[in-house]
Structure 1
Amino acid sequence: MTALVILVGFLLSLPSMGCLKNDILRLNIKKEPNLDPNTVCKTYPELSQTQYDLCRKYPDVTASAIQGVQIGIHECQHQLRTHRWNCSSLERKNKNPHASPLLKRGFKETAFAYAISAAGVTHQVSKACSLGKLKSCGCDMSVYGVNRDFEWGGCSHNVDFGEQYAKRFMDSKEMARDIHSRINLHNNRAGRLAVIRNVQKQCKCHGMSGSCELKTCWKAAPNFREVGDLLKRKFKAATKIHIGNAASGRLIKQNGRRPRQSDLLYYQKSPSFCEPNNRLDSPGTTGRLCNKSSDGVDNCGTLCCGRGYNILKVRRSERCNCKFYWCCYVECQTCTYNEWVTVCK
């Protein structure tokens, strides 16, 4: 899984293939996307009516957005890999992660899952635009001021389009005006901001023998691992809130101040996640690997919830050396290891 997540940022930079299988939708998608809306929209489960309408109109963009959700869930698993709840229950074949019972609650973990998913959609669609894979968008051709040291050129990632589509696609599920929907909308925006506020300048030199007589620069979305690291820090500092004035419906911190747009918000205390709980889509921690020498949340005392642990010699296989191909195929090798492990009882 670690190798898979590290390679997420290279998803759209790898060579295209003639006919590829979509890891989420189980589709065969041609090199130049000319997708049947029914194939995309009816395969991915539990779309809202607005999402379904968007999918019918923009099937290629929606396919990229759905891949962005998966990328976000992979990153969620990486960032919370040492926590009792580690996002693993959100990734199941032919399942919409946002249908999980846990995402209908107001926990810190819910906030992180919403934010990282919205960030994944923004990131993925932005990069897909710049590769000319989507009919509805292309490169961002904006010129960001005049510079003497370089010229704006190349093909900037279309973060504006990615942000707008992520907003339309992800926010459309939050039709209610209750505290839960308001917080979900806020956390969706925080996820999008983690991408658009960290766009980076990339440059290429031109000239004889490696000289840099002319330098061309463009804007690129940040590496998605950096986005995940940023949102993990926001998760650790997440703010518990309540609804303020009933007429305004403003979200207010417990100290009476309004939260920042980039803060992650929650309104319910998280459960222990120690035992399996189907109502929360929580598998518990029995069987989880723990680290008996760690001082972090993955130490055996904390992760095993006081139940103790066993020391076992295991032969472990996992996906490794994964490569992503447009759109939207994942190809991995299988690596096998023999090791001693500590496992929660």
Structure 2
Amino acid sequence: MTALVILVGFLLSLPSMGCLKNDILRLNIKKEPNLDPNTVCKTYPELSQTQYDLCRKYPDVTASAIQGVQIGIHECQHQLRTHRWNCSSLERKNKNPHASPLLKRGFKETAFAYAISAAGVTHQVSKACSLGKLKSCGCDMSVYGVNRDFEWGGCSHNVDFGEQYAKRFMDSKEMARDIHSRINLHNNRAGRLAVIRNVQKQCKCHGMSGSCELKTCWKAAPNFREVGDLLKRKFKAATKVQIHIGNAASGRLIKQNGRRPRQSDLLYYQKSPSFCEPNNRLDSPGTTGRLCNKSSDGVDNCGTLCCGRGYNILKVRRSERCNCKFYWCCYVECQTCTYNEWVTVCK
């Protein structure tokens, strides 16, 4: 029964277009191992020359990296969903989110977007290696010490390769060596560290009737929601820095108290705007039309999110899947239920 419940949950969790679909490139990487470099490299715009060269040489790895950026932006939207700037402007079909004007500034929000994107690339490439989807890498076959309780085996996620490719692919855009580039490089590294420092051990039992006479374990990248939660905490505690002594290329990044930041800190150097009104120069849509919570004490309360403009109460119709039934084997049929509800929307 437990296995059946897990299978039903898995099937319900699959997106309608397939869980391996790359929404930006419109590729199913698992079914297209021999990718045409032009399909990948010319579909995803505004790559730097180094990124384009990497893409031409490793189109399958780059396709997974681009999918990782997409996963990172989706997680950014989830983590900042109650904030005035909620990452929505970064998700554009067939467009590179790093081309957004906001990511050319030094805000806390910029730091989070860079870190979560770098984490997404590290995570996705690491998993793709272990799934046998990429020609350039496979499982991490390292043995992490001897343990009497279990044996190392299975197919560990190749986080070393994922981290290295994320560094090459993401950092290559930061060639200026000014304070903006240096901070972007730092935040990219913080994103990668959020994955590689939280690799987890997963195990499977072997034996008669489900006994655990022998246990095989492997290393796996953390669930990406856990990575997002970690980086959200880093976002809340982000550190404002400046260059100390020398020029931007040689000086040290220091906090306002004179101390050097940690590698895992998120850094910024510009105060964020209010994000209340639309601002095309920052690619910020403002908060008009956003749902707010009039009874909340958090940043999504109507007073804060609506920036004092007030809100409207509207009746809306919402549809969702319901009364789902699992049929052996292996599909799920659901009805569509429609609800009428009242919502509060910023003026």
- Please give the TM-score of this superposition, normalised by the length of structure 1: 0.89
| SS of match in other structure, 2:308 | coil
Asked whether the 8 Å contact 1:15–1:325 carries over to 2, the reply is: no
Where does residue 293 of structure 1 map in the other structure? 295
Judging changes above 3 Å, is the alpha-carbon distance between structure 1 residues 202 and 116 closer, same or farther for their aligned structure 2 residues? same
Offset, 1:301: 0.2
Asked whether the 8 Å contact 1:65–1:121 carries over to 2, the reply is: yes
Offset, 1:22: 3.6
- Note the aligned Cα RMSD (angstroms): 5.3
Offset, 1:25: 1.1
Asked whether the 8 Å contact 1:3–1:320 carries over to 2, the reply is: no
Offset, 1:18: 11
- Superposed, 1:1-345 pairs within 5 Å as 22-27=22-27, 31-240=31-240, 248-316=250-318, 337-345=339-347
Q: Which moved more, 1:215-224 or 1:245-254?
A: 245-254
Judging changes above 3 Å, is the alpha-carbon distance between structure 1 residues 24 and 4 closer, same or farther for their aligned structure 2 residues? farther
Give the whole-Å Cα distance in 2 for the aligned partners of 1:232 and 1:58.
31
- Please give the TM-score of this superposition, normalised by the length of structure 2: 0.88
Offset, 1:236: 0.1
- Report Cα offsets for 1:266-324 as digits up to 9, x if no partner: 00000000000000010000000000000000000000000000000012458999999
Judging changes above 3 Å, is the alpha-carbon distance between structure 1 residues 141 and 40 closer, same or farther for their aligned structure 2 residues? same
Offset, 1:177: 0.8
Offset, 1:26: 2.7
Give the whole-Å Cα distance in 2 for the aligned partners of 1:46 and 1:158.
28
Judging changes above 3 Å, is the alpha-carbon distance between structure 1 residues 42 and 305 closer, same or farther for their aligned structure 2 residues? same
Offset, 1:243: 7.0
Asked whether the 8 Å contact 1:314–1:339 carries over to 2, the reply is: yes
In structure 1, runs of 5+ residues without a counterpart are: none
Asked whether the 8 Å contact 2:179–2:248 carries over to 1, the reply is: no
Judging changes above 3 Å, is the alpha-carbon distance between structure 1 residues 26 and 17 closer, same or farther for their aligned structure 2 residues? closer
| SS of match in other structure, 2:128 | helix
| SS of match in other structure, 2:13 | coil
| SS of match in other structure, 1:273 | coil
Give the whole-Å Cα distance in 2 for the aligned partners of 1:170 and 1:203.
32
Give the whole-Å Cα distance in 1 for the aligned partners of 2:17 and 2:253.
47
Give the whole-Å Cα distance in 1 for the aligned partners of 2:165 and 2:323.
31
Offset, 1:249: 2.0
Offset, 1:248: 3.0
Asked whether the 8 Å contact 1:244–1:252 carries over to 2, the reply is: no
- Report Cα offsets for 1:26-68 as digits up to 9, x if no partner: 3465625100001110000110000000000000000000000
Calculate percent identity across the aligned residue pairs. Answer: 100
Asked whether the 8 Å contact 1:8–1:71 carries over to 2, the reply is: no
Whose relative contact order is higher, 1 or 2, with alpha carbons under 8 Å and at least 6 apart? 1
Moved >6 Å (runs of 4+): 1-20, 241-245, 318-335
Offset, 1:191: 0.2
Alignment length, in residue pairs?
A: 345
Give the whole-Å Cα distance in 2 for the aligned partners of 1:314 and 1:127.
40
In structure 2, runs of 5+ residues without a counterpart are: none
Asked whether the 8 Å contact 2:119–2:191 carries over to 1, the reply is: yes
| SS of match in other structure, 2:318 | strand
Asked whether the 8 Å contact 1:12–1:128 carries over to 2, the reply is: no
Give the whole-Å Cα distance in 1 for the aligned partners of 2:2 and 2:316.
19
Is the radius of gyration larger for structure 1 or structure 2?
2
Q: Which moved more, 1:327-336 or 1:16-25?
A: 327-336
Asked whether the 8 Å contact 2:126–2:160 carries over to 1, the reply is: yes
Offset, 1:23: 1.4
Asked whether the 8 Å contact 1:206–1:213 carries over to 2, the reply is: yes
